[in-house]
Amino acid sequence: MVSKTTWIVADTHLTRDPEGTLFGVVVRIQAERARSFLEANARKGDSLVLLGDISNDDSQESYRCAESLFGSIVSDIELVPGNHDGQLFETLQFFRPCPRSRPGPNGWQFHFLDSRGDGEEGRLSRRTLSYLGEAIPADTKHNHAIFFHHDCLQPFPAGRIGLVEGGNELVELVLSRSTSRFAIFCAHRHQSFAFGLGNITFHSVGAVSCQFEFDGEIPQLSSPAIEISEVRFLDGHISVHRHRIDQ
Ligand SMILES: [Fe+2]
Ligand SMILES: [Fe+2]
């Protein structure tokens, strides 16, 4: 079977200001580069996940910009809010409330969560965790991919604010469903890494706006390259290809 590809775009941080920058990088130009890449590489039937911090300032203009850039590349678009996405996030054309679930390719089940808490901090609420407990029953026959914006685990050196509250309960839940495989996708760090633990693989996807490094908790620019993840959900495992596009 030909597997359909899921593309993950995170942290575009678009602003109402065409010259809006993040650490000196013009975010709209970065988003346009991401669009060009996807236009050249995405195929009919693929899906696109915008994994939070779509906007930087929650402005109507920033969301209209995101729609015009990414809204017509594929017809299957999923939105997940980040800490920079506020009330106007709900005006996006493809908005549907989180948490929600849907079937993915090859027997995978997809779950999209809202991990927003106070300010930059992330939180998986009681309601979200109990939703997930029901969406992933103990006798689940599926493998599961879970998408939310904030960090679930942190590599050393840690320090980035945003390690999600409730993340330990989430890990406990998925470890208890030991007959299934889980892939957890987060963003927010503007850094990409992946590792496995038991039946789980964790993936932090890089950002479209710019990549960070950390001096303690303070993010600094490490690279103006853009990163986009290409994920294929196969029979019992996944393949992830990180596309890093330098200027
Ligand atoms: Fe971000
Ligand atoms: Fe964020």
**pLDDT tens for residues 166-190?**
999 999 999 999 999 999 999 999 9
Q: How far is the CA of 132 from the centre of ligand 2 (A)?
A: 22
Q: How far is the CA of 154 from the centre of ligand 2 (A)?
A: 14
Query: What is residue 157's predicted lDDT score, i.e. its pLDDT?
Result: 65
Query: What is residue 227's predicted lDDT score, i.e. its pLDDT?
Result: 98
Q: How far is the CA of 149 from the centre of ligand 2 (A)?
A: 7
Give the Cα separation of 93 and 176 in Å (integer): 37
Ligand nearest to the CA of 12: 1
Of 55-59, 138-142, 243-247, which one has max mean pLDDT? 55-59
pLDDT, average across residues 216-239: 93
**pLDDT tens for residues 24-55?**
999 999 999 999 999 999 998 999 999 999 99
Q: How far is the CA of 235 from the centre of ligand 1 (A)?
A: 32
Ligand nearest to the CA of 164: 2
Query: What is residue 236's predicted lDDT score, i.e. its pLDDT?
Result: 85
* The dihedral sign for the CA sequence 235, 240, 241, 245: positive
Confidence of residue 154 (pLDDT cuts 50, 70, 90): confident
Q: How far is the CA of 85 from the centre of ligand 2 (A)?
A: 9
Domain with residue 144: its CATH number is 3.60.21.10
Q: How many CB atoms lie within 10 A of CB 153?
A: 18
Work out how many domains the chain is built from and give that number. Answer: 1
Q: How far is the CA of 105 from the centre of ligand 2 (A)?
A: 28
- In this predicted model, which residue has the larger pLDDT, 131 or 152? 131
Q: How far is the CA of 3 from the centre of ligand 2 (A)?
A: 30
Confidence of residue 121 (pLDDT cuts 50, 70, 90): confident
Ligand nearest to the CA of 186: 2
Q: How far is the CA of 11 from the centre of ligand 1 (A)?
A: 4
Give the Cα separation of 183 and 137 in Å (integer): 16
Q: What is the pTM of this model?
A: 0.96
**pLDDT tens for residues 133-151?**
999 999 998 999 999 999 8
Q: How far is the CA of 178 from the centre of ligand 2 (A)?
A: 30
Residue 102 clears pLDDT 70, i.e. is over it: yes
Q: How far is the CA of 202 from the centre of ligand 1 (A)?
A: 18
Q: How far is the CA of 2 from the centre of ligand 1 (A)?
A: 33
Query: By residue range, what is the domain housing residue 112?
Result: 5-245
- Ion ligand 1 contact residues with beta carbon within 5 A: 11, 53
Residue 210 clears pLDDT 80, i.e. is over it: yes
Residue 197 clears pLDDT 90, i.e. is over it: no
